[in-house]
Structure 1
């Protein structure tokens, strides 16, 4: 979130560069966090299925 806010607001806003930076950060998060936790960057996508199935032991809360 910090990267998105930093590159998309203010006087130094760069159109295509901001999109590339945000995309690179998301790709890096998926590459690093993917093997660890499935790269779930949206809490609703992790929390809702776990609550419905009753399997809360693997949640990182």
Structure 2
């Protein structure tokens, strides 16, 4: 479900909600000990937020 939300926000260009959803996805992945995927999701969220801040 969160993967679909990330894709939907990306499709419409809503970077803030895409980043927030990626962070929530990372938290969910951490709960099930999928560490590598969680780190990747958080890194994507950080990149989006940096782009919003610097944009």
TM class by shorter chain equals: 0.3 to 0.5
Report the structure number with the largest CA radius of gyration: 1
State the TM-score, normalized to the length of structure 1. 0.40
Higher relative contact order (CA 8 A, sep 6+): 2
State the TM-score, normalized to the length of structure 2. 0.43
